[in-house]
């Protein structure tokens, strides 16, 4: 009996192991068939299945070349160890179908990787290298033949790097602060690393000695300047990654401050401070809260063309209040001022005037016979109007203020209540732009205020029946009798002879087609300065007679309509499909023309004439302050003087900058003055001028035209790499594409704007760029990239 039971037991065990073997064999066969390519499947026999002589994802391993947690910005790598099912190393040089996918969990940003097969004795290892820029949690998926390697996907956390001062910013930054003497003010600072990640490492948040603050008084000469009495304290919040700098000043006046991290100025850490007494603060608060009423101040006006003032030929967009020269300084470029070129003679003594500050404008008036007002200057209350704070004037010993909006010559004023005047202007400005000077905050404020402007106008539907074959003419006819209220409504577009319900599609198509009809140069309403079909478009000074100025009003209303629709958000968002010149955008917001606009708007002219004048001696050029105009047949039509008596005024080395700026004013603005005025008339019917004025020309393009959808793969496929060593083409370019792949759409648009002059791609993407996007190795080290748009 015992032998019978033992025999049965042995048989059962043998049967069990046989079944297990067959299941394992079947599993190996199925796994092999799933993971092996068809071409390689024929090279395997049933003997390979039985021996486990095939690549098995679950037998492979992953090892990491770093220890968690690790900082962003470094080139990191991990290794995939390949094994047969039987545990023997699998040669990695054979095709294995390894797929690695790395992405940021929260941002859904994909990270490019490189794979390298290692040599003996690690011939079964594939090294995967990558670089991340955004801190956070990443998913790393490693697959072989569509199946996850053991324990894949993996999750890794990358921490922010060390604080970089040039990336660290003040939250809700202002170029000028208005504070009260003896009362503390807290500045919120967000420390960021090289890749703009908010960093919360202990060094940046704990050690207050890393943050320093320097303050000096504006106006007095250095030898006359005394120490500024102030207190500061630094605290931090690790959870919000913020540092709080608490500042208290004990002296009244105007000061310039600079916040540094480890003795390096932070990104927006330079700003002016106006410190008022308690009584002065109450006066300013009362002035700002008085809605719609102009507050006036008695002052003395010095000649705007005085050589001691800021020269008007300098580009305002590159000048902060800290960079503006004091009124007593004399520099080389003062010789370029228009005072040399038959400008009005200097005022021998200051003129008594009255300065009026309202929520929208700052004006300077003179009273004849003490009763008849005469407006001398008007400045808008917007970020483009800059103040410089100087010392006492030589006549009345009153504190001096220089006002410069980049459009008119700077105005130098001395005023007993200068600080109250300036503080009233600054507080009105802060109120106008919503409390912050950052781009996104200004966009949010702009859209909120624009919705408020149209709040009483219904957004009900209005039918727009147009013809696809005569789109511009039929659209003009359909909107001919539209009021502002009608333009504020939701357009329901119907194309003639087409049956369709407008659930948004026909409306979006109409916006795109009408933008093309208006801004495409083939219709001659707008033009390019060169034959390059990728050049930026500008109002056409030589438009055909049948294109009336009313069309520019219509174009302005269309742009205003797009801005209003975008402010409503969601499906209403509409972008202007156009690539405008920088000079035209600057005129929309009221900026003065400058010769540097030629570099992006008319690069051929800039390269051939402007650069030639800048880089050569003018003493033998026989060039005068006049511009010759030729007709279509190449014959001289007329000579236009750029200033009074310009035909007799020679261009010299001293005044050539002034000449180039007058040339820019004529070629870019004066020739299209009527066209721009009618465009602005239509635009400002829907979008108030003061709301547009809070942006600069580059920000305005992003607001109107958006960033579009910039594909990194399209960029990489059509970019042309010129020259360079093996190191540049293989390693540097790999780093470049790694960085570009992790950029946001806004950052990609900024890159495109920096290199091509516009944040928009042509309809064909990078393939349609002419000339092609070229990346050239520069024979320099430790320098920032440069761009040429011609």
Mean pLDDT of 557-572: 88
**Residue 675 pLDDT:** 94
pLDDT tier at 326 (50, 70, 90 boundaries)?
Answer: very low
Whether 345 shows a pLDDT value over 70: the answer reads no
**Residue 317 pLDDT:** 34
| For the ranges 310-314, 557-561, 775-779, the one whose mean pLDDT is highest | 557-561
Mean pLDDT of 607-634: 87
Radius of gyration of the chain (CA): 34
**Residue 167 pLDDT:** 87
**Residue 309 pLDDT:** 35
**Residue 328 pLDDT:** 30
Whether 325 shows a pLDDT value over 50: the answer reads no
Which residue is associated with the tokens 């039918």? 463
Whether 679 shows a pLDDT value over 90: the answer reads yes
Q: Which residues pair with 198 in a beta bridge?
A: 192
Mean pLDDT of 611-633: 87
Whether 34 shows a pLDDT value over 60: the answer reads no
**Residue 227 pLDDT:** 60
pLDDT tier at 27 (50, 70, 90 boundaries)?
Answer: low
Which of 255-259, 348-352, 475-479 has the weakest average pLDDT? 348-352
Mean pLDDT of 125-129: 91
- φ, ψ of residue 789 to 5 degrees: the values are -100, 10
CA-CA distance, 605 to 607, in Å (whole number)?
5
Which of 112-121, 319-328, 580-589, 597-606 has the weakest average pLDDT? 319-328
**Residue 322 pLDDT:** 34
Whether 163 shows a pLDDT value over 80: the answer reads yes
| For the ranges 15-24, 93-102, 140-149, 745-754, the one whose mean pLDDT is highest | 140-149
**Residue 671 pLDDT:** 92
CA-CA distance, 627 to 647, in Å (whole number)?
9
**Residue 301 pLDDT:** 93
Whether 344 shows a pLDDT value over 60: the answer reads no
Mean pLDDT of 726-745: 76
Q: Indicate the pairing of strand 399-404 with strand 411-415.
A: antiparallel
Instruction: Establish how many alpha carbons lie within 13 A of residue 557's alpha carbon, considering only the half-sphere containing its beta carbon.
Output: 20
Distances (CA, A) of 695 to 174, 499, 573, 587, 741: 14, 42, 19, 12, 28
**Residue 184 pLDDT:** 92
**Residue 550 pLDDT:** 92
Share of the chain above pLDDT 70, in %: 82
Q: Indicate the pairing of strand 295-302 with strand 351-357.
A: antiparallel
Whether 426 shows a pLDDT value over 80: the answer reads yes
Q: Which residues pair with 527 in a beta bridge?
A: 538
Share of the chain above pLDDT 90, in %: 26
| For the ranges 316-330, 528-542, 655-669, the one whose mean pLDDT is highest | 655-669
pLDDT tier at 42 (50, 70, 90 boundaries)?
Answer: very low
- φ, ψ of residue 600 to 5 degrees: the values are -95, -35
Structure tokens of 617?
A: 């001696």
Mean pLDDT of 747-759: 72
Which of 22-36, 160-174, 405-419, 737-751 has the weakest average pLDDT? 22-36
Burial of 213 (0-12, 13-18, 19+ CB in 10 A): middle
pLDDT tier at 552 (50, 70, 90 boundaries)?
Answer: very high
**Residue 638 pLDDT:** 85
Instruction: Give the closest residue to 100 by CA, choosing from 36, 154, 35.
Output: 154
Whether 93 shows a pLDDT value over 90: the answer reads no
Which of 368-377, 648-657, 675-684, 719-728 has the weakest average pLDDT? 719-728
More reliable by pLDDT, 476 or 708: 476
3-state DSSP of 517-574: HHHCHHHCCEECCCCCCCCCEEECCCCCCCCCCHHHHHHHHHHHHHHHHHHHCHHHCC
Instruction: Report H helices in 630-722.
Output: 656-664, 673-686, 689-692, 697-705, 712-718
The 10s digit of each residue's pLDDT in 231-264 is 888 887 777 788 888 899 999 999 999 999 988 9
Instruction: Report H helices in 36-161.
Output: 38-41, 46-51
The 10s digit of each residue's pLDDT in 531-546 is 776 678 899 998 888 8
Which of 166-170, 351-355, 734-738 has the weakest average pLDDT? 734-738
């Amino acid at each position: 009996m015992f032998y019978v039971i033992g025999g049965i037991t042995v048989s059962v065990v043998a049967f069990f192991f046989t079944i297990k073997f067959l299941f394992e064999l079947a599993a190996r066969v199925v796994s092999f068939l799933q993971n092996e390519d068809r071409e390689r499947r024929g090279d395997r026999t049933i003997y390979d299945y039985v021996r486990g002589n095939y690549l098995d994802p679950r037998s492979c391993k992953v090892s990491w070349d770093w220890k968690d947690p690790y900082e962003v910005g470094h080139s990191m790598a991990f290794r995939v160890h390949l094994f047969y099912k039987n545990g023997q190393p699998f040669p990695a040089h054979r095709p294995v179908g390894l797929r690695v996918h790395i992405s940021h969990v929260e941002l859904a940003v994909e990270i490019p990787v490189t794979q390298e097969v290692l040599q003996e004795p690690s011939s079964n290892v594939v090294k995967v290298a990558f670089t991340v820029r955004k801190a956070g949690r990443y998913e790393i998926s490693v697959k072989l033949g569509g199946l996850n390697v053991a324990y894949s996907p993996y999750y890794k956390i990358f921490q922010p790097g060390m604080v970089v001062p040039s990336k660290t910013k003040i939250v809700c930054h202002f170029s000028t602060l208005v504070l009260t003497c003896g009362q503390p003010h807290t500045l919120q600072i967000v420390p960021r690393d090289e890749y703009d990640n908010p960093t919360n490492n202990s060094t940046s948040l704990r050690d207050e000695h890393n943050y320093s603050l320097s303050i000096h008084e504006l106006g007095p000469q250095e030898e006359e300047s005394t120490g500024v009495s102030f207190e500061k304290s630094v605290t931090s919040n690790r959870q919000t990654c913020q540092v709080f700098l608490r500042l208290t000043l004990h002296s009244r006046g105007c000061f310039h401050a600079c916040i540094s991290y480890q003795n390096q100025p932070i990104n927006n850490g330079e700003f002016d401070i106006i410190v008022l007494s308690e009584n002065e603060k109450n006066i300013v608060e009362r002035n700002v809260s008085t809605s719609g009423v102009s507050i006036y101040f008695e002052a003395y006006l010095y000649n705007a063309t005085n050589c001691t003032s800021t020269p008007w030929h300098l580009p305002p967009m590159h000048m902060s209040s800290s960079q503006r020269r004091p009124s007593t300084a004399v520099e080389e470029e003062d010789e370029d001022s228009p005072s040399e070129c038959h400008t009005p003679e200097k005022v021998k003594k200051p003129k008594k005037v009255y300065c009026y500050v309202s929520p929208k404008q700052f004006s300077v008036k003179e009273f004849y016979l003490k009763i008849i007002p005469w407006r001398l200057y008007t400045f808008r209350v917007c970020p483009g109007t800059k103040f410089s704070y100087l010392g006492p004037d030589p006549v009345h010993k009153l504190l001096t203020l220089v006002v410069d909006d980049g459009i008119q010559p700077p105005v130098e004023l001395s005023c007993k209540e200068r600080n109250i005047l300036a503080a009233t202007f600054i507080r009105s400005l802060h109120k106008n732009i919503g409390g912050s000077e950052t781009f996104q905050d200004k966009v949010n404020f702009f859209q909120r205020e624009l919705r408020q402007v149209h709040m009483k106008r219904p957004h009900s539907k209005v039918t727009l029946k147009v013809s696809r074959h005569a789109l511009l003419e039929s659209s003009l006819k359909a909107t001919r009798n539209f009021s502002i209220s009608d333009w504020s409504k939701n357009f329901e577009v119907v194309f003639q002879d087409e049956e369709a319900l407008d659930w948004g599609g026909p409306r979006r198509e109409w916006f795109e087609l009408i933008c093309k009809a208006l801004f495409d140069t083939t219709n001659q309403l707008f033009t390019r300065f060169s034959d390059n079909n990728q050049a930026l478009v500008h109002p056409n000074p030589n438009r055909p007679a049948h294109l009336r100025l009313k069309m520019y009003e219509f174009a302005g209303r269309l742009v205003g309509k797009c801005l209003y629709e975008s402010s409503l958000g969601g499906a209403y968002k509409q972008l202007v499909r156009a690539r405008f010149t920088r000079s035209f955008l600057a005129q929309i917001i009221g900026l003065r023309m400058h010769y540097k606009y030629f570099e992006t708007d008319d690069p051929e002219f800039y390269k051939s004439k402007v650069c030639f004048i800048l880089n050569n001696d003018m003493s033998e050029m026989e060039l005068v302050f006049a511009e010759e105009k030729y007709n279509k047949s190449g014959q001289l039509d007329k000579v236009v003087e750029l200033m009074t008596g310009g035909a007799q005024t020679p261009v010299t080395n001293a005044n050539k900058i002034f000449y180039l700026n007058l040339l820019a004013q004529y070629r870019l603005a004066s020739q299209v003055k009527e066209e721009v005025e009618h465009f602005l008339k239509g635009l400002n019917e829907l979008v108030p001028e003061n709301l547009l004025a809070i942006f600069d020309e580059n920000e305005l393009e992003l607001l109107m035209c958006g960033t579009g959808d910039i594909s990194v793969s399209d960029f990489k496929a059509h970019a042309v790499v010129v020259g360079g060593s093996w190191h540049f083409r293989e390693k540097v370019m790999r780093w470049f594409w790694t960085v570009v792949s992790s950029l946001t759409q806004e950052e990609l648009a900024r890159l495109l704007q920096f290199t091509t002059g516009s944040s928009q791609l042509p309809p064909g993407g990078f393939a349609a760029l002419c000339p092609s996007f070229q990346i050239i190795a520069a024979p320099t080290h430790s320098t920032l990239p440069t761009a040429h748009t011609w």
